[in-house]
Amino acid sequence: MRLYVLPCDGIGPEITRAAIEVTESASRRFGLGLTYDYDDVGFVSLDKYGTTLRDEVLTKAKTCDGIILGTQSHADYPAPEKGGRNVSAGFRVGLDLYANVRPARTRPFLTSNMRDGKSMDLVIMREATEGFYADRNMTKGWGEVMPNPDMALATRKITRHCSERIARRSFELAMQRRRKVTAIHKANCFLMTDGLFLECVRHVAKDFPEVAFDEMLIDAATAHLVRSPERFDVICATTFYGDILSDLASELSGSLGLAGSVNAGELACCAQAQHGSAPDIQGKNVANPTSMILSVAMLLDWMGRKHKKTEFNQAATAMAAAIDKVLSDPASRTRDLGGTIDTDEFGRRVAGAVAG
């Protein structure tokens, strides 16, 4: 099995390096036989090739068994016409990685930001190829226009096809968990777009009578996530709402750096940390690589299910368990969690825990 590794910007190379060390440990223990191809995206690619994402990178990604993508500094890229292509969006749209899967859970041995000692264990299923994001809802051109200096307009695209497939993946996941799906919307304002999304989720819900289904306005969802997070199991949302809720959920769990994330489609899957590129600590070897390691674990689990190779699922479980084992020791935490160890050392300790 071949993984395509793209460290990208900011702390991306550092946390990716730690994640690869852990992945290699899992590969040796479970006999995965993983190999790695490295390539440049982001600012390094911009300097070399004049663009942050070359088309040949996407072409090669289609031939690999999985993709590991580091963090990107998209807000600092030049305009798209000057080579500043959104790398994440390029992969999501270019490889049809429509399901951005973002779990969030509290850990009893870590301080969270929950109220009254509450716990949380949920997954946000975020549709990632359309919606209100201007870089992924047009075949050509851009989803935002500025008719004059004092007016800006944005176009939102919601389709039945994309809404129904993210809904189906949400219900399938709920069947493996606590059997509840909550659809997030603002259909009282966006009558047609959120209305169509809701119509599609309701339609899919009929195929899963064992799963409890409810609907919630996005503004109410933020309040309930803080007040009663235990009510959520799988949250199904369009890209804009899912992006907001996943950051909120991760921060409530204790830190944006504590949860993994993958962008998955029918034929490909990309591991990518939930958090940003943190250029202020770039090169200092102090970043927490937990999210990147867990993202790769989710990728291995996806590969195991796709190719019916249980050793990959076992490796993913071992990586997640190793993270918890290391984090449970206060002396083994990075600075963001009150510890003192650096990125590389954290990776070594997790790799050691995986090895057994």
CA Rg, the chain, in Å?
20
Give the C-alpha separation, 89 to 80, whole Å.
Answer: 12
- Could you tell me the pLDDT band of residue 116, with boundaries at 50, 70 and 90? confident
* Mean predicted confidence (pLDDT) in 262-274: 96
Q: What does the pLDDT read at residue 8?
A: 97
Catalytic residues: 133, 186, 219, 243, 247
Model confidence pLDDT, tens digit, residues 19-66: 999 999 999 999 999 999 999 999 999 999 999 999 999 999 999 999
Q: What does the pLDDT read at residue 115?
A: 82
Report whether 16 contacts 70 (CB < 8 A). Answer: yes
Q: What does the pLDDT read at residue 212?
A: 98
Q: Is the pTM here over 0.85, yes or no?
A: yes
CB atoms within 10 A of CB 328: 13
Model confidence pLDDT, tens digit, residues 292-347: 999 999 999 999 999 999 999 999 999 999 999 999 999 999 999 999 999 999 99
Model confidence pLDDT, tens digit, residues 184-234: 999 999 999 999 999 999 999 999 999 999 999 999 999 999 999 999 999
Which H/E stretch holds residue 223? helix 218-227
End-to-end CA distance of the chain: 23
Q: What does the pLDDT read at residue 139?
A: 73
Q: What does the pLDDT read at residue 185?
A: 97
> What letter does residue 26 receive in the DSSP assignment?
H
User: Which domains, and CATH codes, for the chain?
Assistant: 1-103+256-356 (3.40.718.10), 112-253 (3.40.718.10)
Q: What does the pLDDT read at residue 272?
A: 96
Burial of 104 (0-12, 13-18, 19+ CB in 10 A): buried
Helical packing angle, 290-307 and 343-355, nearest 10°: 40
86, HSE (Cβ side, Cα atoms, 13 Å)? 13
**pLDDT exceeds cutoff 90 at 128:** yes
Q: What does the pLDDT read at residue 161?
A: 97
Give the C-alpha separation, 356 to 350, whole Å.
Answer: 10
Model confidence pLDDT, tens digit, residues 153-168: 999 999 999 999 999 9
Q: Over the range 185-210, which residues count as b (16 or more CB within 10 Å of their CB) and which as e?
A: bbbeebeebbebbbebbeebbeebee
> What letter does residue 10 receive in the DSSP assignment?
T
- Could you tell me the pLDDT band of residue 256, with boundaries at 50, 70 and 90? confident
Report whether 250 contacts 124 (CB < 8 A). Answer: no
Q: Which two tokens stand for residue 218?
A: 């996005």
Give the C-alpha separation, 42 to 268, whole Å.
Answer: 21
